[in-house]
Homo-oligomer: A and B are copies of this chain.
């Protein structure tokens, strides 16, 4: 067969991404192959390589969507919520909820890594950054007068923590503890952290000296 004109390049790309997500959901990352994706959209493997340079690029495209979806989920979660603390809690709950509900896509996003030395994709970084900005916005009213850099540090810290709960929840690494209610964990983290934030007095953030030591 030659040119079929059934779908444009863009349509095929769209279909391929959607098919990848579906396979990911149904069979996990290990069940995903280029051939399955090609079959699912009614084309051959060779054709898939006219759409994506390689498998990594396809997965990157999927991750880009996932990042968008997370952003939207977080943004929606604070809609209509005025109280800053409630906003932060709602966002963290929404984040974990998303991770659990879309486990395979979420894991692909955070576990897939490019071959060594490959350039980190701008698009994904940008989206992670936007996500953190959302957190900063919710945090700002709770830290009146704090310099912007301090706000960023705090947002990064808190959200890394929330992310940690999500990681362990999604990968089932907390199963031994009997904890199946992750909302408790995230609420506890956010509540306690924010409480501590409001009670800082003379504690003074210590700027440590240990730098990231690249090894191994």
Q: Are A188 and B101 in contact (CB under 8 A)?
A: no
Q: Are B164 and A184 in contact (CB under 8 A)?
A: no
Indicate whether A102 reaches chain B with its CB closer than 8 angstroms: yes
Q: Are A193 and B183 in contact (CB under 8 A)?
A: no
* The residue from B104, B200, B214 contacting A216, defined by CB atoms under 8 A apart: B104
A184 to B152, CA, bound (A): 12
With A176-B125, A216-B102 known to touch, is A153 a contact of B185 (CB < 8 Å)?
A: yes
Q: Could you say which of A5-13, A35-43, A166-174 contacts chain B?
A: A166-174
Nearest residue in B to A152 (C-beta to C-beta)?
B177
A103 to B172, CA, bound (A): 21
With A183-B208, A195-B200 known to touch, is A189 a contact of B171 (CB < 8 Å)?
A: no
Q: Which residues of A contact B (CB under 8 A)?
A: 25, 27-28, 30, 93, 97, 100-105, 110-111, 113, 115-116, 120, 125, 128-129, 132, 152-154, 156-158, 160-169, 171-177, 179-185, 187-189, 191-197, 199-200, 203, 205-216
29 A-B pairs with C-beta separation under 8 A? A100-B214, A101-B215, A102-B215, A102-B216, A103-B215, A104-B216, A120-B172, A129-B176, A153-B185, A154-B192, A156-B179, A156-B185, A157-B192, A161-B161, A161-B164, A163-B168, A180-B211, A181-B212, A184-B205, A184-B207, A184-B208, A187-B208, A189-B193, A191-B205, A192-B193, A193-B193, A194-B196, A195-B199, A196-B199
